[in-house]
Amino acid sequence: DARPDADLLAGLNGPQREAVTYRGPALLIVAGAGSGKTSVLTRRIASLLRTREAYPSQILAITFTNKAAGEMRERVHQLIGQKADGMWISTFHSACVRILRREAEQFGFTKAFTIYDSGDSRALIKRLVKEHEGDSFGLTPAGTQSRISKLKNELADAESYARSANMSDPAERVFVEIFSSYQRELQRANAFDFDDLIAQTVYLFRAFPQVADVYRKRFRHILVDEYQDTNHAQYALIHELTRPVGSDAEPFSSGGMMIFEAEPSGEQAASLTVVGDSDQSIYAFRGADIRNISEFERDYPGAKVVLLEQNYRSTQNILSAANAVIANNFDRKDKKLWTDVGAGDPIIGFTGYSQHDEAQFVADEIEALHKKGVDYSGIAVFYRTNSQSRALEEIFIRSAVPYKIMGGTKFYERAEIKDALAYLVAVANPADGMAVRRILNRPRRGIGDVTETAIARYAAEHGITFRDALANSAQIGVGPKLQKAIDQLDAVLTEATAVMLPASGELAPSSSVTEGLTLLLNKSGYFDALRASKDPQDEARLENLDELIAVTREFARNNPEGTVIDFLTEVTLVADADDLDDASGSVSLMTLHTAKGLEYDAVFLTGVEEDLLPHRISANEPGGPQEERRLFYVGITRARKRLHVSLAMTRAQFGEVTVAMPSRFLQEIPADLIDWRQSPGDVNGRGGSQSRALNARGRRPGQTGGGNRYGDDLVPLPKRAPADPSKFPNRIPAKVRDNGDMVLAAGDRIRH
Ligand code: ATP
Ligand code: MG
């Protein structure tokens, strides 16, 4: 008479078991890092299926990345021994795209809508800021974009914002105008930006209760991982889905009494399970709201709460460091992680003279670990900002350490890849004028701004799309050469449309995306232009496009019935931790934000310096330093057996050498837990000649060839573009005095 899911419970501790087996409307699992939250969520899904309490199609599980979704699906498959295809395990964004593709026609979009990533939406906002002369009111494209994004995450639109804003301020009026034109342009282009995917789904559910009911009836069990990083729109989405079927109106107030317009029908609301750790909330800058967790019990009265405290990931030394660091955040519930695996190795610390010196330490340690039998794929290096990866890469290449950058390569942000995707969008969603305009003169066809404006004007006058206007080149009144160029582009797009989107009724073959893309790049002359070029960069661009074609082939294999629209959805929703291919056999490099939820045998936390971690920008944000501390906590708790913390006393950036100080967070780790190979004090020294420890090139005076063992004059990498200084406007380099003197007073603060 064993439970059918008994084997799923084997090896779980008491609270974990309870988290898997509890049945009720709402369950909150709060627990520190590595305590099995994600594992428990996975087993809970397996248990619901095994006991036949749920069909796969009744489950909606939300994970943080597509990769995490894939792993969870795979794990459930292993646990129950059968494929559960109808399950929705996906990110918030992917789930909403699926819903919107089905329902878009309800509210003025088509199912072929485009998804604007942040680069696309930046381009549109830039144009609008210019048109509205926003800069004379102090509005920048970046600032405007982030304000709009924040508002959307709060489910505010231009109108509702205008009601609360001070509209006598001209800058506010212009902002509201830009916000509403932005929204109009998106709608006209049949496009959603990232924030819209969630917000518009919420609007859809609120405006069309019968549509919401379809999903409320379908998803009987909703499970959300990393709940601490949900923002208000995501919270509202979950809330809509977990309302009782038939509860088609917000309660409205009448004479002081709350009244439901319609009585909720007999059907129970879906059960909701959320797991999270408020100490790991690191997305406040994107609107994540810890209150979603702390107020869960209020929002879901009678919710069961399970606490997990035993950590199964890390050694006690690592956990003690994590506990000590996070204890410095106020306003949190104290919880202590413990483990029974023992103290383990001490944390290793290292202070480099320069970032190259630091990188060499990391490379040397990795080689040593590798010799001891640690697999490269079990090792990760984390940093706060993407630009830090460059110094690491240079040294790794010299030292022949195989590595893979997660999220940093930004494959889909490269110009040639964006061009190729714009060609696909121009076919899939001809209403998207931005995409068509992007490819108008790529490759160069001699079509300049004047012609583009003429086409746009023609389209506006005739109430047709930019794409349709191309077909009327004769009427636009351009010269014969331009007319020919436009006609050629139009013909290529039409031909590709026939390949990828055959007339209704016919199904495009699974290879249609590959075929269509190849056709577009060949017949548009895009490939020829790159091949004819003498610029060595263009060689790399060709390789990247080949890679993209390879991605379409793989897509066709995995989705035999997938269309060009599905393909575009997939590549647009790739998150930082979702990489083109997996990192097997290589060390993973990534930012701390990307590291969430992952675990590695050995972890290197680099650049643990003031102004970098905590990052300089956080100083001006309310709660910023606390959020940075959580980020550091996330980093520490990724390590299973070995943790390294390192910093560099000087950092060369944008041609200037910055003097760095050890991060305040290092002091928060109990001194006896860190074994300093080279402490900040060793590098800085105290008094005398030691205070002249470094000159501007990071060398000790009197030494030739570099006091840092490896010199700063490294060969630059051919394929990686240098860091973009405009991305770090707040990092003001402190110039080293001309005689090379500098005093690193902070070095004395750390004892060892
Ligand atoms: P994070 O907060 O970092 O997301 P988490 O709470 O989701 O962590 P998991 O990733 O689920 O934790 O688990 C951490 C590690 O502990 C995993 O390797 C998992 O397999 C292991 N683990 C979890 N529970 C147990 C258990 N009862 N026995 C043995 N190992 C376990
Ligand atoms: Mg987890």
- The string of pLDDT tens digits covering residues 416-431 is 999 999 999 999 999 9
Contact between residue 728 and residue 385 where contact means Cβ atoms under 8 Å apart: yes
- Region 672-694: what's the mean pLDDT? 66
Q: Answer yes or no: is pLDDT of 260 > 60.
A: no
Binding-site sequence positions for ATP: 31-38
Of the chain, the percentage scoring pLDDT greater than 70 comes to 86
**Euclidean distance between CA atoms 221 and 652, whole angstroms:** 52
SS (HEC) of 283-341: CHHHCECCHHHHCHHHHCCCCEEEEECECCCCCHHHHHHHHHHHCCCCCCCCCCCECCC
**DSSP assignment letter at 411:** G
Cis-peptide, bond into residue 614, ω within 30° of zero: yes
Substitution candidate for ligand 1 out of 76, 312, 594, 641 with most atoms within 8 A of CB? 312
Mean pLDDT taken over the chain? 84
> Which of 38, 72, 323, 592 to probe ligand 1 with, by most ligand atoms within 8 A of CB?
38
Shortest CA distance to 431 belongs to which of 93, 116, 148? 116
Is a pLDDT exceeding 50 seen at residue 80?
A: yes
Q: Is-catalytic flag, 201?
A: no
For residue 738, is pLDDT > 60? no
Assess whether 371 carries a catalytic annotation.
Answer: no
Q: How many CA atoms lie within 13 A of 331 on its CB side?
A: 8
Give, rounded to a whole angstrom, the gap between the first and last alpha carbons of the chain: 59
Average pLDDT, integer, range 640-651: 95
Strands 403-405 and 347-352: unpaired
pLDDT higher than 50, residue 745: no
Which regions of 32-173 does DSSP assign to beta strands (E)? 59-62, 88-90, 114-116
| Mean pLDDT in residue range 708-734 | 32
Nearest to 726 by CA among 141, 129, 205, 157: 141
Q: What is the pLDDT of residue 750?
A: 24
Q: What is the DSSP letter of 253?
A: E
Looking at the CA of residue 42, tell me the nearest atom of ligand 1: 11
Q: What is the pTM assigned to this prediction?
A: 0.81
d(CA 451, CA 455): 6
Report how far residue 611's alpha carbon sits from residue 662's, in angstroms, rounded to the nearest whole number: 9
502 or 419, which is more confident?
419
Q: Which residue's C-alpha comes closest to atom 4 of ligand 1? A: 597
Q: Give the closest residue (by CA) to ligand 1 atom 9.
A: 36
For residue 740, pLDDT beyond 80: no
Pick the more confident residue, 709 or 319: 319
Rounded CA gap, 387 and 402, in Å? 19
Distance between CA 96 and CA 85 in Å, rounded?
Answer: 18
Pairwise CA distance, residues 636 & 643, whole Å? 7
Which listed ligand is nearest to 282 at the C-alpha?
Answer: 1
Average pLDDT over residues 189-193: 95
Angle at alpha carbon of residue 230, lines to 229 and 236, rounded to 5°: 170
Q: What is the pLDDT of residue 502?
A: 83
Decide if 226 is catalytic.
yes
pLDDT classification of 624: cutoffs 50, 70, 90: confident
Question: Would you state the pLDDT for residue 482?
Answer: 92
Report yes or no: 698 and 652 within 8 Å, Cβ to Cβ: yes
Ligand 1 atom showing the smallest separation from residue 312 Cα = 16
- Phi, psi (rounded to 5 degrees) for 352: -95, 160
Amino acid at site 416: E
Atom of ligand 1 nearest to the CA of 311: 16
* pLDDT classification of 250: cutoffs 50, 70, 90: low
Ligand 1 site: residues with CB under 6 angstroms? 11-13, 16, 31, 33-39, 277, 280, 312-313, 597, 599, 637
Among the listed residues 225, 248, 394, 490, the single catalytic one is 225
CA of 597 to the centre of ligand 2 (A): 4
Run of H or E residues at 368: helix 355-371
Among the atoms of ligand 1, which is closest to the Cα of residue 597? Answer: 4
- Asked if 83 is an active-site residue, the reply is no
Amino acid 746: pLDDT: 28
Six token digits for residue 660: 């760095």
Question: Residue 555 and residue 637: Cα distance in Å, rounded?
Answer: 35
Residue 326 scores a pLDDT above 90:
yes
Closest by CA to 725, choosing from 239, 487, 397, 386, is 386
* CA of residue 33 to ligand 2 center, whole Å: 7
For 523, the 3-state DSSP assignment is helix
Residue 280 falls in the annotated catalytic set: yes
Residues sharing a CB contact under 8 Å with residue 19, sequence separation 6 or more, in sequence order: 27, 29, 40, 44, 306, 308
What is the Cβ-side half-sphere exposure of residue 423, based on CA atoms within 13 angstroms? 33
Range among 237-251, 357-371, 524-538 rated most confident: 357-371
DSSP-assigned letters across all residues of 595-635: TTT--EEEEEE---BTBBTTBGGGGGSTTHHHHHHHHHHHH
Q: Which helix (H) or strand (E) holds 222?
A: strand 221-224
Q: Kindly report the protein residue whose alpha carbon is nearest to atom 18 of ligand 1.
A: 313
Distance CA 370, CA 585 (A): 11
User: Would residue 140 be called left, alpha or beta, if left means φ above 0 and alpha means ψ between -120 and 50 degrees?
Assistant: beta
Residue 703 CB neighbour total at 10 angstroms: 10
Q: How far apart are CA 16 and CA 309, in angstroms?
A: 10
Q: Whose CA is nearest to atom 29 of ligand 1?
A: 312
Ligand 1 centre to CA of 312 (Å) is 6
- Residue 582: the pLDDT is 61
CA 675 to ligand 1 center in whole angstroms: 27
Inform me whether the pLDDT recorded for 44 exceeds 50: yes
Q: Contact 350/609 with Cβ under 8 angstroms?
A: no
Q: Which of the residues 226, 393, 627, 712 is marked catalytic? A: 226
Catalytic residue among 638, 651, 697, 731: 638
- Mean pLDDT, rounded, for 466-472: 93
CB contact set of 572 (below 8 Å; sequence gap of 6+): 115, 117, 412
| Residue 642 tokens, joined | 């070995």
Q: Which two tokens stand for residue 161?
A: 């914002």
Residue 62 backbone dihedrals phi, psi, to 5 degrees: -110, 125
Three-state DSSP at 713 gives: coil
**Are 47 and 5 within 8 A, CB to CB?**
yes
Q: How much is the pLDDT for 335?
A: 80
Per the residue annotation, which of 5, 16, 37, 315 is the catalytic one?
37
Confidence of residue 581 (pLDDT cuts 50, 70, 90): low
Cβ-proximal residues to 324 (8 Å cutoff; 6+ apart), any chain: 668, 669, 670, 673
**Beta strands in 16-63, from DSSP E residues, in sequence order:** 26-31, 59-62
* CA angle 331–336–342, rounded 5-degree value: 155
Pocket test for ligand 1, best of 20, 38, 39, 78 (most atoms within 8 A of CB): 39
Please report which helix (H) or strand (E) contains residue 674, including its range: strand 674-678
Q: What mean pLDDT is predicted for residues 521-538?
A: 91
Q: Is the peptide bond before 443 cis (omega within 30 degrees of 0)?
A: yes
Nearest to 29 by CA among 331, 304, 319: 304
User: For residue 410, is it left (φ>0), alpha (ψ between -120 and 50) or beta?
Assistant: left
CA distance 5 to 8: 5
Q: Is-contact 398 714, C-beta < 8 A?
A: yes
- Positive or negative, the CA dihedral 303, 304, 308, 309 is positive
pLDDT classification of 283: cutoffs 50, 70, 90: confident
Q: Can you say which residues are annotated as belonging to the binding site?
A: 31-38
For 203, how many CA atoms within 13 A lie in the half-sphere containing its CB? Answer: 17
**pLDDT tens readout for residues 118-165:** 888 999 999 999 999 999 999 999 999 999 999 999 999 999 999 999
> Other C-beta atoms within 10 Å of 722: how many?
10
681: pLDDT confidence band, cut at 50, 70 and 90? confident
* Residue 352, beta-bridge partner list: 648
**pLDDT attached to residue 478:** 87
Half-sphere exposure of 89 (CA within 13 A, CB side): 25
**Closest atom of ligand 1 relative to the 40 alpha carbon:** 11
The stretch 662-669 carries a mean pLDDT of 95
Q: Which of 280, 339, 360, 514 is catalytic?
A: 280
Q: How far apart are CA 31 and CA 33, in angstroms?
A: 7
The string of DSSP codes covering 622-672 is: TTHHHHHHHHHHHHHTTEEEEEEEEEESEEEETTEEEE--B-HHHHHS-GG
| Cα–Cα distance measured from residue 486 to residue 447, given in angstroms and rounded to the nearest whole number | 8
The pLDDT score that the predictor gives to residue 518 is 96
Cα 369 to Cα 376: distance, rounded to the nearest angstrom = 9
24 Cα to the center of ligand 1, angstroms:
24
